[in-house]
Chain A
């Protein structure tokens, strides 16, 4: 140290001395972690002109990407990806960027609906105490995991119903089918991991992996790896789907097959490739006739042969089953047929192939969100009065479930509905009480990364700003209520608050070897956990499956379709809004990647078909299914089959704040209740009618087509 003593150094030392007098206050949960410090040593978030950065986990979907949030004088300014997080390596999607518009949304729930948190906690305690355990139900979203664990602990100890998780993204990904297929093939339930980055030829059967599918940031990085030609040839993407998705738009070859023939097409490609390669014909492929498949699917035989040629001769062939292909009556067969192609390509457990995703640290079994059939059972229990009290957290089932499942009506049969919603969504509007949780960026927690990386990852969340409104962490509410309720509840949650619960759970990882960091005491371990944004193991823990699928018979029946209409309906998740983005104004103003439409819902119709029906661009049409109808303006979409129409899911809210409310239409209202063998909704198995309404309503779009008087950017 130099002889000279700067003013700054003096202040630092003076501060150090004063800091030893810092007092840890102990006045209850809210102030327990507040340290009083002298004025000379301002808290780090309060240095004028300097930003502080906090690592946390994105809560816009359940993938669990790591974020680093820039804060400035206690305000969150910008989210960036956490560069050391194994799942997203410093990258984010548009929804991750716009999460700040959720945090500072003008329409958040600003406090408990009864006005007083003490009374709210008493009310929750009474609900727990005064009902039999099996009359209490929890419905939760796919994030966050720590709260799910807390409620699971509570349920295990008290005999309360185990919490049920649901999310529209899980439904549109047909996660139950994917998991069931993995179980049937690999002897273990779980989510398959498709190593797109290492592959050479990717056959995607409607998988929208560049949009919202499973873990879009990670899969987009994989896609960049597929295309880049650094150490290998530039890889190819071949997409099979009736309507060109944003993912299909990136494909080298886009094959518009007839909906419902995905399994047949996969098997036919397998058969043709096996014939080219010679040797014995795998039993899985033996039952299909490629000529017949060509006729049924609307794909020319030459096209099938051309793809089979690639499959037979290239190394690194990878086939992916997407949600729309699985969400049909024959979804199970589609999953098997597509995975049989992978077995034929001999890529199981190899780079560029299929793995079983690594389980997160401290996770013993894969647990998936509820399928639509399980949700139907849940709704039936609600309707029968079996539940006296229902807690809802992190999901908006009135909007996200198909209306035909009757969730909204069934809510009426539950005596007490308590919502923990951060935003005034449709479910909160139906609830008896709303006790708002913090926004994700104000929250503690963790999220297990279920797929998208080779490492087992527990992604950590911490508040990056203090709560803006009079909200309270749901975990804190439950812990406090359990103490009041006493008995088994109090024993199940013997914690002072949410942070202590987290510390208990997270510090259990301290003894595990091969971690991204280690520490000798729990407090240090927890501090590192916050600083790094989670804890992960350093070795590839994906499982390499073995499968005998090639030697089994696959029932390749075509899918069945419900309804009388002349059009196949493709409901797809909006790539920019997803299921819960509609209340964020900048997400609304992002042009859709394929149509460039902003701020509304549209119906995609092939221009030729529209011409025959006398429908023009921006004409409002009524789409009618066997259970419902929606109205939206037409977008003449050049890349959709003439017998198919498509509607994005994400708009059509009747609540959820000023930017979402009364805007667009919700295609979930068209979906009728049909399941596939795994219990997933056959949402892609609807036929619908289209009627003109005579109304014209121009869609706002980035591309200029003259609809708004010819202004804007021309002819994109």
Chain B
């Protein structure tokens, strides 16, 4: 594999040295593909359901999806380890420079890729440029018949037609924990809060936390051998590390 420094791309090589802030480690060996994370994400983040036809056209709004691939043919057929795929919160994100409205911007403070819904004009350039295919576009104003809106999370904006959306690493939970810690005059503790997907995961296959803190659980898990980030050769510097067991 060619690294970015070998490709003589100094700006990316520089970025590569910068650690992100928040990150995830996903153990595919114990992920069972049960979809608890997908449901938890939808409930936490007010994600609309689109119905049978639109989901058939690939318009389902999953911010996280479980990929599975087939290897071999019957009877030697094997289902590969399930791969939860969500926004990788790239350190050098391909979605960001293509947005004409600065709706897809980088948060320097949190090292996250933000999506500012009220700036988004729906060009979908970001989704086209995302190598991980994790952005979801509101093709319609998807209806939630009464009284379903009672369930909506007041901490998360409800998106309307023409707006792009994606996984935010549950930024509302990040801010809530930081506000709470600040009010109590302390730092946010590791494990004090987590994302909806990691919280639900019955196998604890998803672990979330500070990757810039070497003491955090996620940093320690990340240091094990065998971890990989997806499409590393593109120089996107993802903050999600996958382990495939074996």
CB pair A94 B36 closer than 8 Å: yes
B151 CB–A CB distance under 8 Å? yes
CB pair A224 B30 closer than 8 Å: yes
CB pair A105 B148 closer than 8 Å: yes
Q: Which residues of B contact A629 (CB under 8 A)?
A: none
Q: What does the 1/0 interface line of A581-601 toward B look like (CB < 8 Å)? A: 000011111110110101110
A412 CB–B CB distance under 8 Å? no
**A interface residue count range (under 10 / 10 to 19 / 20 to 34 / 35 or more):** 35 or more
Question: Most chain-B CB neighbours within 10 Å: which of A247, A250, A699?
Answer: A250
A103 CB–B CB distance under 8 Å? yes
CB pair B245 A234 closer than 8 Å: yes
Partner-contacting stretch, out of A85-93, A269-277, A325-333, A480-488: A85-93
Name A641-660 residues within 8 Å CB distance of B. 641-642, 658
CB pair B200 A92 closer than 8 Å: yes
CB pair A716 B200 closer than 8 Å: no
B205 CB–A CB distance under 8 Å? yes
Nearest Cβ distance between residue B179 and chain A, in whole angstroms?
Answer: 11
A98 CB–B CB distance under 8 Å? yes
CB pair A224 B204 closer than 8 Å: yes
Q: Which residues of A contact B147 (CB under 8 A)?
A: 104, 106, 468
Partner of A97, one of B43, B77, B133, B154: B43
Q: Which residues of B contact A75 (CB under 8 A)?
A: 150-151
Q: What does the 1/0 interface line of A243-254 toward B look like (CB < 8 Å)? A: 010110110001
Partner-contacting stretch, out of A182-190, A368-376, A705-713: A705-713
B78 CB–A CB distance under 8 Å? yes
Q: Which residues of A contact B50 (CB under 8 A)?
A: 589
Q: Which residues of A contact B96 (CB under 8 A)?
A: none
| CA distance in complex: A639, B126 (Å) | 36
Q: Which residues of B contact A105 (CB under 8 A)?
A: 148
CB pair A97 B153 closer than 8 Å: no
Q: Which residues of B contact A224 (CB under 8 A)?
A: 30, 202-205
Q: Which residues of A contact B196 (CB under 8 A)?
A: 78
Q: Which residues of B contact A663 (CB under 8 A)?
A: 52
Q: Which residues of B contact A716 (CB under 8 A)?
A: 67-69
CB pair B52 A606 closer than 8 Å: no
Q: Which residues of B contact A211 (CB under 8 A)?
A: 34
CB pair A589 B60 closer than 8 Å: yes
Nearest Cβ distance between residue A482 and chain B, in whole angstroms?
Answer: 33
Q: Which residues of B contact A81 (CB under 8 A)?
A: 199-200
B82 CB–A CB distance under 8 Å? yes
| CA distance in complex: A100, B51 (Å) | 18
Q: Which residues of B contact A642 (CB under 8 A)?
A: 74
CB pair B82 A589 closer than 8 Å: no
| CA distance in complex: A639, B74 (Å) | 6
CB pair A221 B154 closer than 8 Å: no
B109 CB–A CB distance under 8 Å? no
Q: Which residues of B contact A228 (CB under 8 A)?
A: 30
| CA distance in complex: A711, B79 (Å) | 23
| CA distance in complex: A76, B149 (Å) | 11
CB pair B35 A711 closer than 8 Å: no
A575 CB–B CB distance under 8 Å? yes
Nearest Cβ distance between residue B75 and chain A, in whole angstroms?
Answer: 5
The secondary-structure label for the interface of chain B is loop
CB pair A104 B73 closer than 8 Å: no
CB pair B49 A586 closer than 8 Å: yes
Q: What does the 1/0 interface line of A622-643 toward B look like (CB < 8 Å)? A: 0000000000000000111110
Q: Known: A585-B49, A590-B39. Contact between A250 and B69, CB under 8 A?
A: no
Q: What does the 1/0 interface line of A265-306 toward B look like (CB < 8 Å)? A: 000000000000000000000000000000000000000000
CB pair B38 A106 closer than 8 Å: no
Q: Known: A104-B151, A227-B30. Contact between A256 and B68, CB under 8 A?
A: no
| CA distance in complex: A585, B52 (Å) | 10
A80 CB–B CB distance under 8 Å? yes
Nearest Cβ distance between residue B69 and chain A, in whole angstroms?
Answer: 6
CB pair A593 B34 closer than 8 Å: yes
| CA distance in complex: A462, B69 (Å) | 43
CB pair A256 B75 closer than 8 Å: yes
| CA distance in complex: A594, B75 (Å) | 16
A240 CB–B CB distance under 8 Å? no
Nearest Cβ distance between residue B167 and chain A, in whole angstroms?
Answer: 15
Partner of A220, one of B32, B67, B149: B32
Q: Which residues of B contact A639 (CB under 8 A)?
A: 70, 74, 77, 79
CB pair A78 B203 closer than 8 Å: no
A525 CB–B CB distance under 8 Å? no
Q: Please name the residue on chain B nearest to A701 by beta carbon.
A: B56
Partner of B70, one of A576, A593, A638, A712: A638
| CA distance in complex: A210, B35 (Å) | 11
CB pair B30 A91 closer than 8 Å: no
Nearest Cβ distance between residue A594 and chain B, in whole angstroms?
Answer: 7
Q: Known: A94-B35, A220-B32. Contact between A80 and B200, CB under 8 A?
A: yes
Q: What does the 1/0 interface line of B21-40 toward A look like (CB < 8 Å)? A: 00000000110111110111
B165 CB–A CB distance under 8 Å? no
Question: Most chain-A CB neighbours within 10 Å: which of B50, B65, B200?
Answer: B200
| CA distance in complex: A100, B46 (Å) | 12
B192 CB–A CB distance under 8 Å? no
CB pair B146 A106 closer than 8 Å: yes
Name B102-141 residues within 8 Å CB distance of A. 133
| CA distance in complex: A640, B77 (Å) | 9
B184 CB–A CB distance under 8 Å? no
CB pair A106 B148 closer than 8 Å: yes
CB pair B35 A593 closer than 8 Å: yes
Q: Which residues of B contact A72 (CB under 8 A)?
A: 154
Nearest Cβ distance between residue B61 and chain A, in whole angstroms?
Answer: 9
CB pair A700 B53 closer than 8 Å: yes
B185 CB–A CB distance under 8 Å? no
Q: What does the 1/0 interface line of A569-587 toward B look like (CB < 8 Å)? A: 0000001100000000111
Q: Please name the residue on chain B nearest to A699 by beta carbon.
A: B56
Q: Please name the residue on chain A nearest to B50 by beta carbon.
A: A589
CB pair A702 B60 closer than 8 Å: yes
Report, nearest first, the 7 A-B pairs whose CB atoms are least far apart.
Answer: A712-B58, A700-B56, A599-B52, A249-B79, A97-B39, A220-B202, A593-B33
| Supplied contacts A220-B34, A698-B56, 16 more A-B pairs, CB within 8 Å | A77-B151, A98-B39, A101-B151, A228-B30, A244-B77, A246-B33, A249-B79, A250-B82, A575-B35, A576-B35, A587-B39, A591-B35, A593-B32, A599-B51, A639-B74, A716-B69
A residues engaging B (CB < 8 A)? Answer: 72, 75-81, 88, 90-98, 100-101, 103-106, 210-211, 216-217, 220-221, 223-224, 227-228, 234, 244, 246-247, 249-250, 254, 256, 468, 575-576, 585-591, 593-594, 596, 598-600, 606-608, 638-642, 658, 663, 698-702, 704, 707-709, 711-713, 716
A and B contact pairs by CB, cutoff 8 A, 12 listed: A88-B202, A93-B36, A94-B39, A94-B40, A96-B36, A216-B202, A227-B245, A244-B79, A590-B39, A638-B74, A700-B52, A716-B67
